[in-house]
Amino acid sequence: MNSLNLVSDLKDLLNGPNVHTQWSVPQLVEAATSRGEAVLTKEGAVTAETGKYTGRSPKDKYMVEEEISKDKIDWGNVNRPISSEVFENLYTKVLAHLKQKEELFVFKGFAGADPESRLHIQTINEYAWHNLFAHQLFIRPTAEEMKIHEAEFTVVYAPTFKADPAVDGTESETFIIVSMEKKVILIGGTEYAGEMKKSIFSIMNYILPEKGILPMHCSANVGQDGDVALFFGLSGTGKTTLSADRDRKLIGDDEHGWSDNGVFNIEGGCYAKTINLSRENEPQIFDAIRFGSVLENVVVDTETRIPDYDDGSLTENTRAAYPIHAIENSIHPSMAGHPKTIVFLTADAFGVLPPISKLTKEQAMYHFLSGYTSKLAGTERGITSPEATFSTCFGSPFLPLHATVYAEMLGNKIDEHDVEVFLVNTGWTGGEYGVGSRMKLSYTRTMVRAAIKGELHNVQTEQEDVFGLSIPQEVPGVPSEVLNPRDAWADKAAYDKKAKELAQKFQDNFKKFGTVSADISVHGGPLTK
């Protein structure tokens, strides 16, 4: 199909009489409730259920095989190829489907707080609440910026259009297809709004490295003296909790770029998990959920309209989307200088990694590529004991390029800006899960704050024998006996066995990177062979 026809079809859709562009929060809230898409909470948050899909659908995500990108993309289970013909046929069907709708909603905005590297985006939504989600999660343009806004990438989102795999060439009724050539993200068959957010992040992970900017799946904050800290970590490691600090301002909670100018937030909002949310434990997030926020799959009492954040009957993956300015202790615009400290968070259920250790550049690149944490017994069907899980660069589902591209950029920036990197284990101590105990949050906070303040810069360290990690011998406010994990185990032989077991899992996982620099694979990983 002629590309000009596809562009013309999109323009026809956008110029249709059923299109509402750049509606305000009150207008979208009213539309979402009057159309029966959502209900309001007592505080005025829009609450919607996403039906069958309560999370991302990675097996239904594709990249179109195109001349412009096919030699750059790291094809595999994450970046699954699909033909231009399949994409174009579905694209035509989806546009025809949307043209028949009584109302469509368009949001125009940006990804990237740094004006020098931001991406102009637009979303076309069948649902008003999806458009409100985009309004809250992406960066909203000013009136002056709207006058010159030209979308570089378009998200076309039709949740009620379901593919026919036998005819349309997909695995299921659901599809998330990215065309770098057509600059379109096509989404259908799922109502989970997070697909929009993560698809745009994937695009930024493709285009930013070409500009010399490192895209990162991390949270970031900044101190009163302008000292920036980055927090990488998978779900359950404490990333959100530890980056929320009353003495530091939040730059962003999930996606950032690191340019020659410093760190900037890719988003204009936050997408926080809300299961078991309470004002006592996470007051900033709790109070940010107010009028115009979006709640996904949160059960709300029909009489009082009060959300029950402890109810996971629809899913454990309950979420809230709100603009970052709803967090009182945030910085605007969401930009700051170069990081002084990087923290890699892991919840090691084997209980063998130190609660805090200093990393060399090679170790930092190794652990960045590894992206390790543990899955616990009972979290998924069939898991009866802790399992090691690895997510490359702490965000493998969103990396179109080979992982080493991102790791090498990180290593260069660590060198250039003399950044200290720490591995922090928020998991178990004194034994593995079921034997030992979870590291006290108060200790972890103390260690992280000491690292960020530079108090561990010249501290004496000792090297543990399995992973080669440098453990501080003293951290003010933390008992010395918990700093070395082997000392915390009553059964030293059991520790040695478990540590070597985990080290082997690291080494087995690292084999997938193939031609990684010997400095990283030899000097960055476990010492045990």
Question: Of 253, 254, 259, 340, which is the active-site residue?
Answer: 254
Q: Are 421 and 414 in contact (CB under 8 A)?
A: yes
Contacts of 279 (CB under 8 A, 6+ apart): 286, 287
Is 498 a known active-site residue?
no
How far apart are alpha carbons 279 and 281 in whole angstroms?
Answer: 6
Structure tokens at 32: 């979402």
Strand ranges of the sheet holding 39-40, from the earlier edge strand across to the other edge: 39-40, 46-48, 294-296, 319-323, 269-273
Among 240, 274, 341, 392, the active-site one is 240
| Number of CB atoms found within 10 A of residue 14's CB | 15
Question: From CA 61, how far away is CA 59, in angstroms rounded?
Answer: 6
Q: Would residue 56 show up in a list of annotated catalytic residues for this protein? A: yes
Q: Is 198 a catalytic residue?
A: yes
Distance separating alpha carbons of residues 221 and 240, to the nearest angstrom: 11
What is the pairing mode between strands 319-323 and 294-296?
antiparallel
Which member of 21, 33, 235, 446 is catalytic? Answer: 235
Quick check: 31 and 103 in contact, CB under 8 A?
yes
Angle at 360 between CA 346 and CA 442, to 5 degrees: 40
- Among residues 130, 140, 217, 248, the one annotated as catalytic is 217
Residues 6+ apart with CB under 8 A from 85: 169
Please check whether residue 90 is in contact with residue 186, taking contact to mean a CB–CB distance below 8 angstroms.
Answer: yes
Distances (CA, A) of 427 to 343, 437, 485: 15, 8, 11
d(CA 52, CA 476): 49
Q: Is 235 a catalytic residue?
A: yes
Rounded-to-integer distance, Cα 19 and Cα 103, Å: 6
222 contacts: CB under 8 Å, gap ≥ 6: 228, 229, 248, 249, 251, 331, 336, 337
Tokens of residue 485, six digits: 């994990």
> Which of 41, 50, 54, 56 is labelled catalytic?
56
Distance CA(310)–CA(497), nearest Å, equals 38
- CA distance to 152, 207, 403, 513, per residue, from 204 (Å): 12, 5, 14, 22
Strand pairing report for 104-111 and 119-125: antiparallel
Q: Among residues 93, 197, 319, 375, which one is catalytic?
A: 319
254 is catalytic: yes
| Residue type, position 487, single letter | D
Q: Which of 239, 249, 358, 367 is catalytic?
A: 239
State how far the Cα of 243 lies from the Cα of 13, in Å rounded to an integer: 42
Q: Hey, which residues are catalytic here?
A: 56, 198, 217, 235, 239-240, 254, 319
